[in-house]
A and B are shown apart, each in its own frame.
Chain A
């Protein structure tokens, strides 16, 4: 795209499918030379109608669905949701259960922040950092698998507590893993504070000043990097956070470099919290019996996810299905500040500025329109979609018919 004169504006669409983006979202960038004069964002490409789907399912089915709002911070959504339902139902969970939830929550934060650090390295051409952080991230992924059975979508929560207890040997393993993670985090802090190329590449990029962060409603590390000391774990404590001693990490740089410093700082705080949780793990049961039907009522639940404040609202009507479930993921709050961050910046900075809010658009967007082979559009029912999936795989030699018959599962509903 070549402009005819220096003063001419050029518009470049980035997305919804673009090599620089990890998920579908669409940015329309207006450029004068290399400078961005205007930008707009379009979302909704990942909208899956999860809120509506929750209304048509029982609470326990909705819980598993909500955990799948996001693959990275699945525990954040699941915990925010079960907290709300427990509040409507009037359930008080055992202390040990709230400690286990907090433990998984902090391990999730470690894996998420290490993942981000790698992505950020990759976006600025520092792939060594990606390789290092993602190698080290395997330590925490293994710990999550050890405690929950899964690397992602842990399925640890249930109404009234958690589904699995932790034993002494597992806690010992977690402590050993945390020692490694802490040592590596200290190394990354050295990299972030000493490595000149990293500092120069990230400084003064994607500026979001304190007052703008507050005005635009930014959350999490994006806001804290602008000196906004807000953290739901401190401000509106849930689970076991009221018992823990930790600092809210902030920075004053108000740019991508500040966001990096906040996240590596938070890794250390998470390690500190994990040790406290294990040291003070209360004895006792991990669950209380939860009713299938939840009384009429409403609750508003907040959770500090790795990307910032995650809020859920649940309204019960006395039946076994929720009347309304509302999810506001942190990226939804942060994405509106991105246009401000891009303003007057350079085109080449777009990928790292977008990546610096650690966006998660599956979270942000929550009907199925299917293109027919004839070119028209139509709607598939759930059963048709399921059957089409089975037949697609069968045509490629993957057939579970006999297996399903043997175990009598997977029957069409």
Chain B
């Protein structure tokens, strides 16, 4: 618990006024930061603060905003779930795949399932939906239902298709 609390104290000291750093139990830290501050925070936690492991990224539909949680970890086992939000009508994130190459697939999941745009992501096949998936259909958005596909044309694999 000591290390977890030390990280909590360090985050609050380094980034004052950026919201509560929550520690529900040993080795678990949750912190939400505005996206305007995200790059600065991300650089610090993955650099000098040694959160060098990216466990995964979780996308969330929060109503007016889309949320992303970057689940980071230290080799000691302490994890930091660093959350941020972007507006649903212009959901744009910068890629982190230059820091964590493994983020490539996680970011493609956000693109396909929640409709978040990720800038700076290299070329590659989409994941996990098929190539012919109709445009504008984001299954992990809360208002999406299977019925939303009614009337949509599903294209053939390899051919991008719209409504």
Whether a CB of chain B sits under 8 angstroms from the CB of A379 is yes
- Shortest Cβ distance from residue B117 to the other chain A in the assembled complex, whole angstroms: 19
- Binding-face segment, A44-52, A120-128, A154-162, A275-283: A44-52
Q: 1/0 contact trace for A217-258 toward B, CB 8 Å? A: 100000000000010100111000000000000000000000
Whether a CB of chain A sits under 8 angstroms from the CB of B160 is no
Verify A379–B150 contact, CB threshold 8 A: yes
Whether a CB of chain A sits under 8 angstroms from the CB of B86 is no
Nearest chain B residue, comparing its CB with the CB of A327: B56
- Shortest Cβ distance from residue A372 to the other chain B in the assembled complex, whole angstroms: 11
- Binding-face segment, A67-75, A99-107, A295-303, A351-359: A295-303
Verify B71–A311 contact, CB threshold 8 A: yes
Q: In the complex, what residues of B have CB within 8 A of residue A369's CB?
A: 130, 154
Verify A336–B56 contact, CB threshold 8 A: no
Verify A324–B60 contact, CB threshold 8 A: yes
Whether a CB of chain B sits under 8 angstroms from the CB of A42 is yes
Verify A235–B55 contact, CB threshold 8 A: no
Q: 1/0 contact trace for A314-345 toward B, CB 8 Å? A: 01000000001010100011011000000000
- Shortest Cβ distance from residue B100 to the other chain A in the assembled complex, whole angstroms: 6
Verify B102–A336 contact, CB threshold 8 A: yes
Verify B104–A336 contact, CB threshold 8 A: yes
Q: In the complex, what residues of B have CB within 8 A of residue A52's CB?
A: 139-140, 144
B interface bracket (residues with beta carbon within 8 Å of A) = 35 or more
Separation of A315 and B58 alpha carbons in the complex (Å): 11
Say yes or no: A215-B101 contact (C-beta < 8 A), given A302-B79, A328-B56: yes
Most A CB atoms within 10 A — which of B76, B101, B124? B101
Q: 1/0 contact trace for B100-144 toward A, CB 8 Å? A: 111011100000000000000000111111100000000110001
Separation of A8 and B110 alpha carbons in the complex (Å): 37
Q: 1/0 contact trace for B45-60 toward A, CB 8 Å? A: 0000000111110101
Verify A315–B130 contact, CB threshold 8 A: no
- Binding-face segment, B6-14, B21-29, B33-41, B87-95: B21-29
Q: In the complex, what residues of B have CB within 8 A of residue A335's CB?
A: 105
Whether a CB of chain B sits under 8 angstroms from the CB of A381 is yes
Verify A51–B140 contact, CB threshold 8 A: yes
Q: In the complex, what residues of A have CB within 8 A of residue B79's CB?
A: 236, 300, 302
Nearest chain B residue, comparing its CB with the CB of A366: B128
- Shortest Cβ distance from residue B87 to the other chain A in the assembled complex, whole angstroms: 19
Verify A42–B139 contact, CB threshold 8 A: no
Number of A interface residues, CB 8 Å? 41
Verify B102–A324 contact, CB threshold 8 A: no
- Shortest Cβ distance from residue B116 to the other chain A in the assembled complex, whole angstroms: 14
Whether a CB of chain A sits under 8 angstroms from the CB of B75 is yes
Verify A336–B69 contact, CB threshold 8 A: no
Say yes or no: A315-B101 contact (C-beta < 8 A), given A44-B130, A230-B75, A377-B154: no
Say yes or no: A42-B101 contact (C-beta < 8 A), given A87-B24, A369-B154: no
Other CB < 8 Å A-B pairs besides A47-B129, A215-B101, A300-B81, 7 of them? A52-B139, A87-B25, A237-B77, A297-B24, A336-B101, A336-B104, A369-B130
Q: Across chains A and B, which 7 residue pairs bring their CB atoms closest together, nearest first?
A: A217-B102, A44-B128, A328-B56, A236-B77, A235-B77, A47-B128, A326-B58
24 of the cross-chain contacts (CB-CB < 8 Å) are: A40-B124, A44-B130, A52-B144, A216-B101, A216-B102, A217-B100, A217-B102, A235-B76, A236-B27, A236-B79, A298-B81, A300-B71, A300-B81, A311-B55, A311-B56, A313-B58, A315-B60, A333-B102, A365-B128, A367-B139, A367-B149, A379-B146, A379-B149, A381-B146
